Structure 1
Amino acid sequence: MTQTARAEASAAPSPARADDEPLPRRGLVFAIVSIGLFMVSVDGTVVATALSSLQRELHAGVQWGAWTITIYSLGQVLVMPLAGKISDMYGRKRVFLAAVVLFTATSLLCGLAQNIQMLVALRAVQALGGGSIMPAASGIVSDHFGRNRDRALGMFTSIFPIGGVVGPILGGIFVTYWSWRGIFLVNVPIGIALVLLGAAFFPATQGHRGGRLDFVGTLTMAATILSAMIGIAVLGDGVAWHSPGVLVPEALAVVFGWLFVRHTRRAPAPFISLHLLVGRGFGVMNVINFLYGAAAIGFGALVPLYAQERFGISALASGTLLTARAVGMICIAGIAVFALRRTGYRLPMIVGFLLVSGGLVMMFLPPAGLSAYVWLSISAAITGLGMGLAVPAANNATLQFAKGQIAGVSGLRGMFRQAGSIIAVSVVTAVIAQASDPGMSLGVSFLVLAATLVAIVPAVFLVPEHRGSW
């Protein structure tokens, strides 16, 4: 048995031991990590609704206010693969609890921030905690559900986009009835409860400490991601694509990326194996996850703005449009998870991507004899049905090839999706900033995103098919 195989075997608990665990205890573990994931997901979008309020109170400009959202996404993209690797090496429980403590402490400090610069800096640290929760939590779910880990992981990871939809609504409630500070302070009691429950009910996991952490690989990959995302974020601020603020970070990303690949090929124990980036199934799924993040997740942040700019729908009503998408996801996600063993991965992804694409096209088209709000709600619900169908399959498609590295694979998946989302929003924002009709330009961008989803359908046939449990 090779060193890698021994490491994976030691990292993955035996299915029999996991299946012997009492169902109520497994249900409690699932609930604890799900609340953690939901909390982090909500925090990614809740600030958008409170942006004008916090800018007014902290006397901040629009660009500084926008960075409270951008820096959170950047931090998560940066830390997800690192947190996944560390939790596989040193144990999921330790990483999960440490991440929740960091997230909770910085949430408290965010709620007490006295100026916008302090808030942006704290949001960056908060993102490191939040981005570390999902990979560690995915590993915990996998450890506890044995032969049913595929279904449990499908249900668990479907929570993330739902939390993102709920965020703007909760933000509106807090701003209306309390203060923008409440969107951060509410995390404190939830985080404390999660730490206490996790410490009490999660069994200790040892991980597989197969050598030291690859610091060179970690730093070069972090520099690659950070440089690329900074360039894209600057582009989203309305800066021309050929300006130094965009080109210099992107050039640095290319250099650091080359250094990362060169080091990874030579390192005996690399931070991230090239197999997880370009190996069987992994390479195509990384591309699919990136484009899915751009088309399906990224557009969600643009729907309220589109409703306001093109159809004149109020800010409050436009925020509730995403509720229809959440309802669509909830209605079908559970069914899709339990049908995976019969359908395999390819069919639900293909049908789901096409449904999301159809919903995006409907959003561009003029309302067919209905009010604009009803038409957009129906369109959003269709995209939600497609996401609920495709996400569980996309989440599980390669995990059977890396059972001992569930957290690491989950971290990479989250990184690619978040990166795609950031790039889509930044590019579209840069385009509409120069447009004479922002509403129509947003509508055209939805058509482009719809075409992107259709274009990746052939790539789904390259995803290794699997039916049954693993």
Structure 2
Amino acid sequence: MKNNKKILLIMFLFGIFIGSLDSGIISPARTVIANSLAVSQNNSVWMITIYTLVYAVSMPISGKLSDRYGKKKLFTVSIFIFGLGSLLCGLSNYFTSYPMLLISRAIQALGGGGIMPIATAYIGESFPKERRGSALGIVGGVYGISNVLGPTVGSAILGAAGSSNWGLLFLVNVPIVIIVIAISILIKDGAEVKPSKKMDLSGGTVASLLILSIMYALTNFDFHDFAKSVSSINVYPFLISFIVLLPVFIVIEKKAEDPIINLKYFTSREIALTLMLAFISGIGLMGIVFIPQFAENVLKLKTGSGGYLVTLMAVFTGVAAPLGGKLIDKFSAKFILVLGFSCTAIGALILALIVVKFSSIFILIAGLALMGLGMGFTMGTPLNYLIQTNVPEDETASAQSTLSLIRSIGVAISPNILINFISDAAKNLQGNLMAVMPKIPMGPNAPAQSLTGKGVSPEALAGIQNADVTTIVDSLKKFSASMIDSMAPGIKQSMAGKLPKGVSPDVAVVNMKMDYLKQVDSSKALLETTFQNTLNSGFSKLFIAAAVIALIGLILSIMLKNKKVK
């Protein structure tokens, strides 16, 4: 029987690994997939959005069904649906069908929403309370590592298989799903649940519409331009829908025998604080998305080479999660949350205030190590422990689903809060670079002229917009050459009668362009520093915001009761 429990534990951990890995694995491939299927960048967002929406809707329903009919049974159904969606997503590559990909992503998300909360609830229940922290620490470690490594694994698969075979990003799930289902069929756990209360169908329907409304509105919301966002057709109708449906949902759930989302969770001080901390951890989780670009900018690395630092961070996350679980058993969940949010805040401030000024790889690693430790301590283990400790045993999966849903709402709004710091800095790039570029000579006795960008080819302009710190000077040279070519007729005209004998205006313009590009080369250090500092100003604000978010989490953690398992 003990061996069966160990095998089932491995099965659930496999499910958690592929479920959380998949949420990030597609990120680096979105542009590749869009180009392959001839889809615009705006429409390509739907391959991520549709997964996010269906995933959020499926979580509370899957959790409630597993509490009613058995966690292992519903986990197996969820993993099967996830595997089927993964297979269809992979095949859409070879059928060259974007609608097929979107439908397949929805199927995949329908199964994915049940994997994490059900597995976490089952594993937590399988261990006695004095060892529950250690068990959930393993869950947190697997979840943390796979979540952080998702984009890196995605890039590695694309690099090995080639961009034309992006379907492998999804097909890699299929053999793991087959193994998990085989284990589930062969190993019996002896648990049997017989529902005794009426299923809350009306509550489930309204909850689905409520979650879809708020998630879609938040996904499209720009918190840095509040007024414009609120008036957007992609936001206000869904906010109104949410406001209208919320009281309807509350009335239905109060009357339901077995509510989809138990409203008592929000009236219990400890559970409400736990859910608020889940929301905060969800917002902070997305900060890792910007770390590769930040590392590349401060260390002057080529685009795509900063991913190994995320891998390093994942190692610290993977160490911290099981360690945090053991410390929960020894001390308390509150202790680990306070420790974790403190590490995250200090690490984020190191990146925001020190690394941007000194560009030291050692200080960068120290900051990332602290953030990785903080993420490992806070992201899953203590919150999962708190929710399972404070709800009845027959509600653990639905309570875990509520926790995951609240965290997902935090994840949904996080990019819209954080990315604008980088966007605002990027808007200043061209102006700041033009201000330190050498002026273009306009011929004998004519005043030199600053670069303006007028008449420049779209390719040269795009080169600057897509450049990194290692390619910015070459991009500026192409930009300058394009601008001089566009100005050449005017320059030649101004040279008329002023050139030495035997020197044609064409030759003079060519020589002038070559001399100017040499000046740009000689200004390389200044141009790279300007590029770095402009982007770093955005990264600095982003990580200060991440530190503030962690400090809010720290304050909420201090408000928890200091419960210790005896």
Q: Give the TM-score, by structure 1 length.
A: 0.88
Between the aligned partners of 1:202 and 1:383, the Cα distance in structure 2 is 40
Q: Specify the SS of the correspondent of 1:397.
A: helix
Between the aligned partners of 1:171 and 1:82, the Cα distance in structure 2 is 29
Partner residue in 1 for 2:98: 116
Report the CA distance between 1:25 and its aligned residue. Answer: 2.7
Report the CA distance between 1:368 and its aligned residue. Answer: 7.7
Partner residue in 2 for 1:257: 246
Change in Cα spacing, 1:439 to 1:85, as seen in structure 2 (3 Å) is: farther
Alignment of 1:48-87 (within 5 A): 48-87=27-66
Q: Contact 1:397–1:463 at 8 Å: present in 2 too?
A: no
Letter in 2 for 1:77: A
Pair 1:37 & 2:6 matched: no
Pair 1:106 & 2:74 matched: no
Partner residue in 1 for 2:345: 357
Q: Specify the SS of the correspondent of 1:289.
A: helix
Q: Which has the larger radius of gyration?
A: 2
Partner residue in 1 for 2:212: 226
Q: Contact 2:296–2:305 at 8 Å: present in 1 too?
A: no
Report the CA distance between 1:417 and its aligned residue. Answer: 1.1
Report the CA distance between 1:337 and its aligned residue. Answer: 1.1
Instruction: Count the aligned residue pairs.
Output: 447
Match of 1:126 among 81, 92, 108: 108
Pair 1:135 & 2:121 matched: no
Match of 2:73 among 94, 98, 104: 94
Pair 1:206 & 2:189 matched: no
Partner residue in 1 for 2:148: 165
Change in Cα spacing, 1:198 to 1:184, as seen in structure 2 (3 Å) is: same
Report the CA distance between 1:140 and its aligned residue. Answer: 2.6
Between the aligned partners of 2:357 and 2:290, the Cα distance in structure 1 is 24
Letter in 2 for 1:26: K
Pair 1:301 & 2:289 matched: yes
Change in Cα spacing, 1:311 to 1:79, as seen in structure 2 (3 Å) is: farther
Pair 1:329 & 2:317 matched: yes
Between the aligned partners of 2:415 and 2:408, the Cα distance in structure 1 is 11
Q: Contact 2:341–2:554 at 8 Å: present in 1 too?
A: yes
Q: Specify the SS of the correspondent of 1:315.
A: coil
Q: Specify the SS of the correspondent of 2:559.
A: coil
Letter in 2 for 1:55: A
Between the aligned partners of 1:388 and 1:123, the Cα distance in structure 2 is 28
Letter in 2 for 1:398: I
Pair 1:192 & 2:182 matched: no
Letter in 2 for 1:214: D
Change in Cα spacing, 1:234 to 1:308, as seen in structure 2 (3 Å) is: farther
Partner residue in 2 for 1:467: 564
Change in Cα spacing, 1:208 to 1:370, as seen in structure 2 (3 Å) is: farther
Partner residue in 1 for 2:237: 248
* Deviating more after overlay: 348-357 vs 431-440: 431-440
* Deviating more after overlay: 324-333 vs 239-248: 239-248
Between the aligned partners of 1:313 and 1:73, the Cα distance in structure 2 is 32
Change in Cα spacing, 1:249 to 1:138, as seen in structure 2 (3 Å) is: same
Match of 2:408 among 414, 418, 423: 418
Q: Contact 1:310–1:440 at 8 Å: present in 2 too?
A: no
Pair 1:400 & 2:398 matched: no
Letter in 2 for 1:207: V
Between the aligned partners of 1:112 and 1:374, the Cα distance in structure 2 is 44
Report the CA distance between 1:126 and its aligned residue. Answer: 0.7
Report the CA distance between 1:194 and its aligned residue. Answer: 0.8
Partner residue in 2 for 1:277: 266
Q: Contact 1:306–1:443 at 8 Å: present in 2 too?
A: no
Letter in 2 for 1:405: E
Change in Cα spacing, 1:269 to 1:104, as seen in structure 2 (3 Å) is: closer
Between the aligned partners of 1:413 and 1:160, the Cα distance in structure 2 is 15
Q: Specify the SS of the correspondent of 2:68.
A: helix
* Deviating more after overlay: 67-76 vs 232-241: 232-241
Change in Cα spacing, 1:312 to 1:244, as seen in structure 2 (3 Å) is: farther
Q: Contact 1:290–1:416 at 8 Å: present in 2 too?
A: yes
Partner residue in 2 for 1:156: 139
Q: Give the TM-score, by structure 2 length.
A: 0.74
* Deviating more after overlay: 201-210 vs 73-82: 201-210
Q: Specify the SS of the correspondent of 1:104.
A: helix
Letter in 2 for 1:36: G
* Deviating more after overlay: 184-193 vs 202-211: 202-211
Q: What stretches of structure 1 of length at least 5 have no aligned partner?
A: 1-20
Report the CA distance between 1:375 and its aligned residue. Answer: 4.1
Report the CA distance between 1:71 and its aligned residue. Answer: 2.4
Q: Contact 1:58–1:116 at 8 Å: present in 2 too?
A: yes
Q: Specify the SS of the correspondent of 1:463.
A: coil
Match of 1:382 among 345, 365, 370: 370
